[in-house]
A = this chain, B = another copy of it.
Amino acid sequence: MTDKKNPIAAALAAALCLAAAPTHADDAGGEGMWLPSQLPAIADQLRAAGYKGDPAALADLTKPPMNAVVSLGGCTASFVSPQGLVVTNHHCARGAIQLNSTPEDNLLEKGFIAADRAAERSAGPGARVLVTVAFDKVTDRILADARGKTGRAYYDAVDVAEKALVAECEADEGYRCSVADMYYGTDFYLIKQLELKDIRLVYAPPEAVGNYGDEIDNFMWPRHSGDFAFYRAYVGKDGKPAEFSKDNVPFEPQAWLEVSTDPVAEGDYAMLAGYPGRTYRHRMAMEFAHQVEIGLPSRIDLYGAMIDAIEAASAGDKAAEVAYASTVAGLKNGLKRARGELDGMQRSDAVAVRRADETAMLAWLDGQPGADALEADIHAAQALIAASHAGDEASQLFAQIRGRTELLAAAYRLQRLALERGKPDAGRERGYQERDEARIKAALEQATRRFDPKVEKALLAELLERHRALPADQHIAEIDAVFGTDAAAVAKTMDRLYADTALDDEAERLRLLVAEPTAVKASTDPLMQAAARLLPAALREEDADKQLAGELLRLRPSYMEGLIGYRESQGRAVYPDANSTLRIAFGNVIDLHPRDAVRYAPLSTVAGIVEKHTGEAPFDAPDVLLEAIAKGDFGSTIDPVLKTQTVDFLTNLDTTGGNSGSAVLDANGRLIGLHFDSNWEAVSASWMFDPRYKRGIHVDTRYMRWLMSKVYPAPWLLEEMRLPAE
């Protein structure tokens, strides 16, 4: 199936002599983050791939098994017992584990096993389990008022309709609602989720197991991490969502997943249900080209220069180095990801592949009835996108100036928030609503310990120098006005701004957070004034962004219509790009050939834990685990082929960020794993699914069962899941 989907990729693979590295594409599955409602239409493909259940039964999100899959907001999880037991990744429960840790009782280090229900600990007031109860197409209501409009007006009409629908839906207490946009404005869905608020930590292995290998192994395969943990959802005695209370009772879900007791083997069917965050697979060829030729290289160049500037300015000053460690780590991570994405897109020849596909699509479209209108929209969208890039560089620099600094960023946030604080909450700009204030406050609080004036000035100098180097017509006038137009003036301005500001005082920042908006605007603090003078440029950008977004929301559906029609003409379905809604992927347990003459097997084993063990984090396997491995008592979880205990496994399932914790199911719909990472070669999969390189990394539920049986025993939980004790 994957070969059918990507004929050019397949041809490229053949050209690159992948006979030496068979991708088992014939095993079917792989690409596709399908809406559950699409599954009946591709039922044959699921059956061909090996699914033994009824594909149609997967289509209804409110029925088993799909209603056993829940969102934690950012992560995916699943009910695994009738008493509200929830399984997710260790790294998704990390906050809850940390919250319940003290220096004397460090649960991250020791792990946690609640001896009984009473010992289960609150995951914190912010923890949520969201159970989808309705998923309805609302395209007509959303677009009713937008039709006939263009640009910003189109955007605002959609925005208003969405907010109205959400408010109406959330009138039903205990539910959280949202509107999801499929195929870039083609369809809209109203999602209604039961919002469970009393979530408790039940079981977590030590971090040295749950996060074995940490950053060093991140993105890597072979992996040896037991990345799982258990929550339990509680509700009030009336069965309704309630805040934490001792009197609450376990939530009784309508469905829960059965944990498999069968082995997992290469070639096996696998299926994944979860909430992938965002992909760009159906973006236009010109957008692919821009990303590869300009977007990523310019980000790589900019981040590299920013890292250099920070490191040079803080070198030899231990305190400054510590203050900027997190900023530098963030930039380096961004740089690494951008490089990985660029490498991957180049390796897969993504631009050429997408361009050839688009050319074929447009050629097909040309002969279809109504093609003219679609083509006109497509050309209009392309012209808009091309024009929008003119200001990209300045925009990117401005975003870093107001986002990657500390004090200047604080001043900007205070000014931007003050502008919104006057309005009713529903009318406020996203990111500056009441729900965002806690996050803004936290950022303001930590600014001091992340700040050093000479480093911020050096970083700013680098960004401003790059701004000055842009052609005059790309300059943002406010930046020139505030900072000056030559290096000497900039240096002088910065000296003055940072010498005279009071924003290096946390109390002053927090005072301005709650001060009268007019007082904030009128603040005489030089950094506050600078931010106030930069604000119009930012607002102008926001407006332009919405204008563009509105037009593209109106025009892109024509491109999608062409693409969907073209695929249909080939007998193929199109999944919408990921947008944090529940999706299903299906495929196989499969190996990976990352480079010539290298093959990664799809199952890792405990032998790898011993091989990697150094005794120092992140490779500090606990003694009890090493002893259990040496003992070799693997009971019912032993792999019948490998004759040892497996740890993690690899599939070609289609995933992206947000899929963490996703249930991986076998051909009978039983839980065989939890998704927790992708491989390095697949960083570019947000743009293009290359069947040669895209893999999902999952923890094997047999490893989970073995740990819960023999290493960190919790037999009562195994019993609750109706699993063998040994």
Contact = CB atoms under 8 A, between A and B. Distances in A.
A19 B597 contact: no
B597 A644 contact: no
A496 to B, nearest CB: 36
Contacts of A596: 222, 224, 604-605, 607-608, 611
Interface residues of A, number: 29
Contacts of A599: 598-601
A586 interface: no
A600 B222 CA distance: 13
Interface in A579-609: 595-608
A222 B643 contact: no
Nearest to A16: B607
A624 interface: no
A17 B647 CA distance: 13
Nearest to A644: B17
Given A17-B643, A17-B644, A643-B19, A608 B597 contact: yes
A474 B281 CA distance: 72
Contacts of A222: 595-598
Contact of A601 (B224, B598, B608, B644): B598
A20 interface: yes
A601 B607 contact: no
A135 interface: no
Nearest to A603: B597
Interface string A1-26: 00000000000000111011000000
Contacts of A643: 17, 19-20
A544 interface: no
Interface string A611-632: 1000000000000000000001
Interface in A641-684: 641-644
Nearest to A604: B597
A609 to B, nearest CB: 8
A649 to B, nearest CB: 9
A221 interface: yes
Contacts of A610: 16
Contacts of A603: 20, 597
Given A17-B643, A20-B603, A597-B608, 16 more contacts: A17-B606, A17-B642, A19-B642, A19-B643, A20-B601, A20-B605, A20-B607, A222-B595, A222-B597, A222-B598, A595-B611, A596-B604, A596-B607, A596-B608, A596-B611, A597-B604
20 contacts: A15-B632, A16-B610, A17-B605, A17-B606, A17-B607, A17-B642, A17-B644, A19-B642, A20-B642, A222-B596, A224-B596, A595-B608, A595-B611, A596-B605, A597-B600, A597-B601, A597-B602, A598-B598, A598-B600, A599-B601
A-B complex: 9 closest residue pairs judged by Cβ atoms: A596-B608, A222-B597, A17-B644, A597-B601, A20-B642, A597-B604, A599-B599, A19-B643, A596-B607
